[in-house]
Amino acid sequence: MTAFDRRELNAILNVYGRMVAAGEWRDYAIDWLKDAAVFSVFKRASENPVFRIEKRPKLRAKQGAFAVLGQAGQVLKRGHDLKQVLRLFDAKLIKAVEA
């Protein structure tokens, strides 16, 4: 079973907290699968996830173990460093605050 470690989960929850404070996100779910750990973000609990933050250790040597996927499953950002991948949300947070 694959899981996020404490440092990774803290980084994800830090971004999640900022987006909740900005009114963009409302709920989340964490799934630990055999080959991936997935943190799903929802605008409303009854919807499909808006974003999925995934950790896939098998891709560590290739494209990077971490990825952010959009609602349709498209890869928005992938990399070896989770904090670099999560920077994708900094621009989204700035847009949310300005709106």
pLDDT, tens digit (0-9, with 9 covering 90-100), for 12-71: 999 999 999 988 899 999 999 999 999 999 997 777 999 999 999 999 999 999 999 999
What span, in angstroms and rounded, lies between the C-alpha atoms of 86 and 44?
A: 21
Residue 95's pLDDT is 66
Helix axes 6-21, 88-98, angle to 10 degrees: 20
Domain boundaries, the chain: 6-98
Residue 91's pLDDT is 76
Q: Tell me, rounded to whole angstroms, the distance of Cα 92 from its chain centroid.
A: 13
What span, in angstroms and rounded, lies between the C-alpha atoms of 83 and 52?
A: 15
Start-end of H helices in the chain: 6-21, 82-86, 88-98
Residue 96's pLDDT is 58
What pTM value is reported for the model?
Answer: 0.91
What span, in angstroms and rounded, lies between the C-alpha atoms of 94 and 40?
A: 21
Residue 97's pLDDT is 57
What span, in angstroms and rounded, lies between the C-alpha atoms of 3 and 5?
A: 6
Residue 99's pLDDT is 57
Q: Across residues 76-83, what is the average pLDDT?
A: 96
